Amino acid sequence: MIQVANMKFLSFLNPKFLYFTTKESTLLLWKYRSTIFEMAKGTLFHRYAGQVLGPFWAIFHPLFITCLYLFIYGVVFKTRIGGTTEMPLSYMAYFLSGLLPWLSMNAGMNGACVALTSNSSLVKRVIFQIEILPVKEIFASLFAQGIGTIIFLIYVFLTHGSLFATYLLFPLVLSLQIMLMIGLGNILAAIGIFFRDIKDIVLVFFSMGIYLLPVAYIPTWVPSIFRPVLYCNPFSYMIWCYQDMFYYGRFEHPYAWIVFPFMSILSFVFGFKIFRKLKPQFGNFL
C-alpha cells in the first residue's frame, strides 16, 4: 500500500505529467476566461450590494488592516530600516511588499472554501463547468492586491525617486501566485463539500499566518531556535520572491526563486487532479 502511494506521488513529479496537466487545466481556464471575469466581478459587487459605499469596502478593508499593522510595528514598536545597501527602502516598503500578496491569499482561500457550497445550484447543473467557481473567488481577491500594488509603486517612486528593474518580474511572480492560489483553492473547495469546518480552520490559519512569515520582520530578527519555522513554511518563499522584486531590487533569496515556481506548479496540478477526482461526489453532499 505504501509503495503504491509512493508511486502515485512520484507520478506527480514527472515532468511530462506536470506539463500535460498544466496545459489541460490552463486551456480550460482560458476557454472560460470571460465567464470567470464576469463572475469574479459579480462576486465583488454582490458582496457589497445594497451598501452605500459598495465596492469601496473591498479597498478599505485591506487598507485598514495595512495601516493597523504599520501603526503597530512602525509607530508603537518604532521599527526602522532602510537607507543602506542591504536594506534600500523604508520599513513601510518592506512590510507592504509581503503583506499585499498575503492579504490576497487570505481572501482568496477563504472564498474558495465556500465556492461550491454557496453555489450548490450551479454545482448540480450537469452542463456547468464548476471548475471555474473556486477560480472566480481567486480573481475577485486579486482586486485589492492590484489597487494596493499601484499605491505601493507610487509610494516607492515618490520616496526613492526610481523603481527597480526587478519590478518587471511582477507579471511572472503574480502568475505563479495565481497558480498557487488556484491549486490550493481547488483543494479547499473540494474538501469544503465534505468537511464544512474547513473554512474556519483556514480563517484561523491565515489570521495567525502573518506572524509565521517574514512580512513584519526580517528573518535575522528571529531567535535562531525559531528560525527554521520560516524556512519550513512554504508561503515564506512566495513572500521572499515579492520582497526580492519589490524591496531589495535583487535576488536576495535565490533559493526562493526555485522553490516558489516548483511549489506553484505542483499545487496547480495537484489541485486540479484532486478536484476532478472528487467532482462526481459533490452532488451527493449538497
The residue type of 104 is S
Q: What's the whole-model pTM score?
A: 0.87
Q: What is the pLDDT of residue 59?
A: 72
Q: Report whether 213 contacts 237 (CB < 8 A).
A: no
Please state, in angstroms and rounded to a whole number, the distance separating the CA atoms of residues 99 and 103.
6
Question: Can you give the residue range of the structural domain that contains 234?
Answer: 25-44+60-285
Q: Cell 465556500 sits at which residue?
A: 114
pLDDT one-digit tens code per residue, 233-278: 999 999 999 999 999 999 999 999 999 999 999 999 999 999 999 9
Between these two residues, 50 and 39, which has the higher pLDDT value?
A: 39
Is residue 13 domain-resident? no
Is residue 8 domain-resident? no
Q: What is the pLDDT of residue 50?
A: 65
Is residue 54 domain-resident? no
Please state, in angstroms and rounded to a whole number, the distance separating the CA atoms of residues 138 and 211.
23
Between these two residues, 282 and 242, which has the higher pLDDT value?
A: 242
Question: Half-sphere exposure (CA, 13 Å, Cβ side) for 26?
Answer: 14
Q: Give me the helix-helix angle, 132-160 and 56-70, nearest 10°.
A: 50
Q: What is the mean pLDDT of residues 24-40?
A: 91
Please state, in angstroms and rounded to a whole number, the distance separating the CA atoms of residues 54 and 52.
6
Is residue 51 domain-resident? no
Please state, in angstroms and rounded to a whole number, the distance separating the CA atoms of residues 241 and 97.
10
Largest CA distance in the chain: 60
Spatial CB neighbours of 113, under 8 Å, sequence gap ≥ 6: 188, 189, 192, 198, 199, 202
Q: What is the pLDDT of residue 74?
A: 62
Is residue 2 domain-resident? no
Spatial CB neighbours of 47, under 8 Å, sequence gap ≥ 6: 58
Q: What is the mean pLDDT of residues 24-44?
A: 89
Is residue 269 domain-resident? yes
pLDDT one-digit tens code per residue, 136-167: 999 999 988 988 898 889 888 988 888 999 99
Is residue 29 domain-resident? yes
> How many structural domains comprise the chain?
1
Question: Across the chain, what does the average pLDDT equal?
Answer: 85
Q: What is the pLDDT of residue 122?
A: 82
Straight-line distance from the first to the last Cα atom of the chain, in angstroms, rounded to the nearest whole number = 32
With a pLDDT cut of 70, the percent of the chain lying above it is: 86
Is residue 1 domain-resident? no
